């Protein structure tokens, strides 16, 4: 009804909306009644505006206890409280009628109305005040429609936040795309340079290697071995064969440990596999050459 109802604890209670509920009506208030109880004959009574609440005192009998014996504190007007543990029973108030009430904030959290007691004349006055404040014909909301009505502003805010989040994400993506395009263009230019260097049909491989900043092939092929690249015991074909066979065996064993699952295949597997194949091939060719040489000698 009102755009900004007074929901403070001491605000006068007013009806903000009326909702169809079962065969009657439920009333949405600007605030829920705040009850502090005074001792009256036979129990406790609290009144807040047109609403009231009462507890009847009766000692529990065996398992027959109020609120199943649940313990809770009942606030009283002097600022203290009375501990209830089965002796105070909820009851009606003479001259009052049952009503169904809640607040917007409570319904947003859980769409459930509460029961209460109200002076029927004052309740009628509250309804008349609600009708008088209506800008047009007083609206009585269908039960489910009122849930959508109170949640609509929050949904609009949520939608607006999602739109803002989408715009930020879109901006971030576009900025990243620009950066990716710049990197792509730079890589394309570098690839063109490399293709141009490699594509010289009138240049030798050594010249192409040199143009790419590499040591020319003819220099690599002509460099003699050093004392650091030759095995210390390499002094005969027999020693060379022994070295090749040991290297072949070492890499083949290592490879088979990968292949059988003893070792988990990692980045080193391809290196071991390649060396196993290379040394296996060299070993086969060397054995064949030495066998032929021995046959010729005999």
**What HEC string does 160-208 produce?**
HHHHHHHHHHHHHHHHHHHHHHHHHHHHHHHHHHHHHHHCCCCCCHHHH
State yes or no: pLDDT of 258 exceeds 50: yes
Give me 162's structure tokens.
């999602």
93, 109, 141 — which closes off a domain?
A: 141
Q: Which of 89, 116, 141 lies at the terminal end of a domain, its last residue?
A: 141
Distance separating alpha carbons of residues 230 and 209, to the nearest angstrom = 27
8 pLDDT higher than 90: no
Inter-residue contact 100 to 114 (CB < 8 Å): yes
Average pLDDT over residues 175-187: 87
User: What is the model's pLDDT at position 202?
Assistant: 43
More confident site: 109 or 2:
109
Q: Give the pLDDT score at 113.
A: 92
201: confidence class by pLDDT, cuts 50, 70, 90? very low
Residue-number span of the structural domain to which 117 is assigned:
15-141
Regarding whether 136 and 20 lie in a shared domain, the answer is yes
Band (pLDDT 50/70/90 cuts) for residue 2 is: very low
| Long-range contacts of 48-52, Cβ-Cβ distance < 8 Å, separation of 24 or more | 48/13, 49/12, 49/13, 49/122, 50/13, 50/118, 50/119, 50/122, 50/123, 50/125, 50/126, 51/13, 51/99, 51/101, 51/116, 51/117, 51/118, 52/93, 52/96, 52/117, 52/118, 52/119
Report how far apart, in Å, the C-alpha atoms of 294 and of each of 24, 186, 236, 282 are: 115, 61, 15, 18
51-57 vs 43-48, strand pairing mode: antiparallel
Are 38 and 137 in a shared domain?
yes
Select the highest-mean-pLDDT range: 131-135, 218-222, 239-243, 251-255. Answer: 251-255
Q: CA 100 to CA 266: how far, in whole Å?
A: 71
Mean pLDDT of 35-47: 90
Q: How many CB atoms lie within 10 A of CB 189?
A: 10
> Residue 101 has what pLDDT?
92
68 token code pair: 């199943």
Identify the pLDDT of residue 153.
Answer: 74
Asked whether residue 170 is domain-assigned, the answer is no
Distance CA 145, CA 111 (A): 12
What Å distances lie between residue 126 and 18, 135, 231, 259, CA to CA?
A: 11, 16, 106, 86
Same domain? For 137 and 241 the reply is no
Give the end of a domain, one of 123, 141, 159.
Answer: 141
pLDDT at position 297 over 70: no
Q: Are residues 124 and 239 in the same domain?
A: no
pTM, to two decimals: 0.46
Query: Is residue 91 in a domain?
Result: yes
pLDDT of residue 175: 85
State the Cα angle at 296 between 295 and 298, rounded to 5°: 70
- Answer whether residue 43 is part of any domain: yes
Domain count, the chain: 2
Helix (H, G, I), strand (E, B) or coil at 114: strand
**3-state class (DSSP) for residue 37:** strand
In a domain? residue 254:
yes
In a domain, 51, yes or no: yes
> What's the average model confidence in pLDDT over 111-122?
89
Helices then strands, counting H and E runs in the chain, come out as: 7, 11
Q: How much is the pLDDT for 152?
A: 81
In a domain, 46, yes or no: yes
Name the DSSP class of 26.
Answer: E
132 & 35 share domain: yes
Q: What are 24's strand-pairing partners?
A: 21
Average pLDDT of the chain is: 85
């Amino acid at each position: 009804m009102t755009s900004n109802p007074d929901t403070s604890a001491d605000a006068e209670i007013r009806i903000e909306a009326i909702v169809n509920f079962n065969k009657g009506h439920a009333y949405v208030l600007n605030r829920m009644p705040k009850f502090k109880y005074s001792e009256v004959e036979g129990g406790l009574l609290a009144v807040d505006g047109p609403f009231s609440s009462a507890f009847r005192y009766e000692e529990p009998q065996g398992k027959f206890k109020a609120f199943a014996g649940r313990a809770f504190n009942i606030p009283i007007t002097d600022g203290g409280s009375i501990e209830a543990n089965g002796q105070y029973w909820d009851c009606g108030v003479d001259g009052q009628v049952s009503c169904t009430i809640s607040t917007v904030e409570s319904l947003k959290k859980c769409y459930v109305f509460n029961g209460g007691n109200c002076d029927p004349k004052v309740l009628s006055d509250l309804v008349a005040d609600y009708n008088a404040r209506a800008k047009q014909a007083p609206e009585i909301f269908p039960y489910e429609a009122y849930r959508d009505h109170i949640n609509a502003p929050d949904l609009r805010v949520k939608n607006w936040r999602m739109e803002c989040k989408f715009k930020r994400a879109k901006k971030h993506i576009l900025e990243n795309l620009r950066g990716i395009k710049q990197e792509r263009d730079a890589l394309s230019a570098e690839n063109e340079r490399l293709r141009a260097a490699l594509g010289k049909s009138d240049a030798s491989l050594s010249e192409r290697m040199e143009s790419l900043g590499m040591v020319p092939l003819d220099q690599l092929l002509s460099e003699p071995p050093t004392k650091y690249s030759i095995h210390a015991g390499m002094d005969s074909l027999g020693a060379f064969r022994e070295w090749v066979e040991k290297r072949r065996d070492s890499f083949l064993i290592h490879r088979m440990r990968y292949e059988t699952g003893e070792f988990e295949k990692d980045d080193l597997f391809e290196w071991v596999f390649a060396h196993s194949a290379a040394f296996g091939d060299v070993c086969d060719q060397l054995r064949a050459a030495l066998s032929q040489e021995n046959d010729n000698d005999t």
